[in-house]
Amino acid sequence: MKVSVITVCYNSADYIESAIQSVVAQTYADIEYIIVDGGSCDGTKEIIKSYGKAVAHFVSEPDKGIYDAMNKGLSLATGEVIGLLNSDDFYPRVDVITDVVRIFVGCPKNEIVLGNVDFVNPNNLLKPIRLFSSFKFSPWKMRFGFSPAHPAAFMRRAVYQKVGKYDSSYRIGADFEWFVRAFVVHKIGYVFLNKVIVRMREGGVSTSGVVSYWISSRELLHALRENGVYSNWVFVLMRLPIKLIHKLLRKG
């Protein structure tokens, strides 16, 4: 079973090598690594090229944003299973892909594997500071703006052929909109792998600041309405206090 891993990047010289190294270090043999760069000018391209044939496909050209770049990567992917690894994220163990493939092989009818993400401070990559778990995800929760961890989701390529690619008109919410199409509209089957699959540095596009929260809330509501799922501003804005309550309960 070939697994395609796609990384999209732009001026990511500070972090991309840790992403590449975490893919190269995987013990699973049949990995097709694809990197789509938006035309970086900070040394990112030189770092990628230094890994030679370990990167099966490398494209560097201007794009219309992160989701346009993801779609380019999907067009290049030939693996039966596809995962997306952000340029400032990395796999925390060498057997992550092996674990994912084991689930797909053991559940032939399953189409998506959902795992967990933990977050780290960029200055200390070994000590997780919070967890984004997909384990309690259910499609009905999406009307409140909840979704599984996109960086820790692996899909059969046939799912993208059925559901379609990412809507690049979204700034930071196209992954959520894609999940709405997959789980609510097309009712794609999924299974949980209750392990941390990806480690993410805090401060990314979708994890930083009040402005980001406002933009994401607006886009989540638009995604739900666009796909015929009832929601409203109260529902979507409730997700932050609910998360805070859960966090306090865990600490207690």
Q: Which of 37, 41, 43, 42 has the alpha carbon at shortest distance from 60?
A: 37
**pLDDT of amino acid 242:** 61
CA pseudo-torsion sign 20, 208, 71, 111? positive
Contact 191, 113 (CB under 8 A): yes
pLDDT at 109 (0 to 100): 86
Report the pLDDT value the prediction gives residue 135, as an integer from 0 to 100.
87
What does the alpha-carbon distance between residue 39 and residue 94 come to, in Å, rounded to a whole number?
A: 30
* Domain span holding position 218: 3-251
3-state secondary structure of 241: helix
Report the CATH number at residue 72: 3.90.550.10
User: Average pLDDT of each block of 10 consecutive residues along the chain (252 residues)?
Assistant: 97 96 97 97 96 96 95 97 97 97 92 95 88 90 93 96 96 95 96 95 63 87 95 83 57 52
DSSP secondary structure letters along 68-135: HHHHHHHHH--SSEEEE--TTEE-SSTTHHHHHHHHHHH-TT--EEEEEEEEEETTEEEEEEEEE--T
Burial class of residue 230, CB neighbours in 10 A (0-12, 13-18, 19+): exposed
Burial string for 39-63 (b: 16+ CB within 10 Å, else e) reads ebeeebbebbeebeeebbbbbbeeb
So what's the pLDDT on residue 244?
Answer: 62
Domain count for the chain, please give it: 1
